[in-house]
Chain A
Amino acid sequence: MAKKDTFFRMSSVRAFRAFISILWIIGLAALFFDAVLMLFSLLKSPLMKEKGIIYSGSIYLASLLTVVVFLWIIHYLRKLVQTVEQNHPFDQANPGRIRRIAYGVFVWMPLRIFSEVMLKGPSGVLKTENFFDLLRSDVLMLVFLGTAILVIAKVFEAGVRLEQDQTLTI
């Protein structure tokens, strides 16, 4: 029974790791496409002539930064899953990794607001319907998610301390 449980647990961890690896590849591909292809399309687009290089360049940079933050989160998620796979979920570095994931989520929030403002314009975003939509679906959700991840990091810190106590009890 215990063997069966371990088998299922390890299979699910491996499946999750494979899923994260796919996300990592997608992120890298997105970074490449954003960095190279979007730059070319931006240079040719009428937006560049209409709104100028600062406006279109800032959309380009925000898009690049979003992908970088995505890769940052995936990188630490991969490291976390690796430690779970190696049967060391309470590795000393894990609380720090979880905290960095939370910081990534918090950085994602202003980027999301920025891109919304750039795409719809400040007046478009401040329209009651759009504003509450953005607040509810993105800002509040990301704040809630980031805070929850920070709490999990705190729980992991306590877990690491308990694990060390257990290991160093002779």
Chain B
Amino acid sequence: MSIEVNLDLMLVKRKMSLTELAQKVGITIANLSVLKQGHARAIRFSTLEGICEALNCQPGDILSYRKNASSGNLV
């Protein structure tokens, strides 16, 4: 798929670790890592809401669409 996950970029911007974000959102580090690496197949609205709230950002800051992309942090 061509949806890119920019979670690592937002974490750097907010100077937050993955562990901290996982604690704030209430999901496991393993699941967050799956999302960050682009191995996730789907994301729940509740998770997206939690991440946006914790990182004080918009869904568009975390997810972006890139045409014909084949690798990287893609969902």
Contact = CB atoms under 8 A, between A and B. Distances in A.
Are A and B genuine complex partners?
yes
Interface of A: 164-165, 168-170
Nearest to B51: A170
Interface of B: 27, 31-32, 34-35, 39-44, 47
Nearest to A164: B41
Contacts of B43: 169-170
Contacts of A170: 27, 31-32, 34-35, 40, 42-44, 47
Contacts of A164: 41
A164 B27 CA distance: 18
A169 B31 CA distance: 9
Nearest to B25: A170
A169 B34 CA distance: 10
B34 to A, nearest CB: 6
Nearest to B28: A170
11 contacts: A165-B41, A165-B42, A168-B39, A168-B42, A169-B40, A169-B42, A169-B44, A170-B27, A170-B31, A170-B35, A170-B42
Contacts of A168: 34, 39-42
Contacts of B39: 168
B59 to A, nearest CB: 14
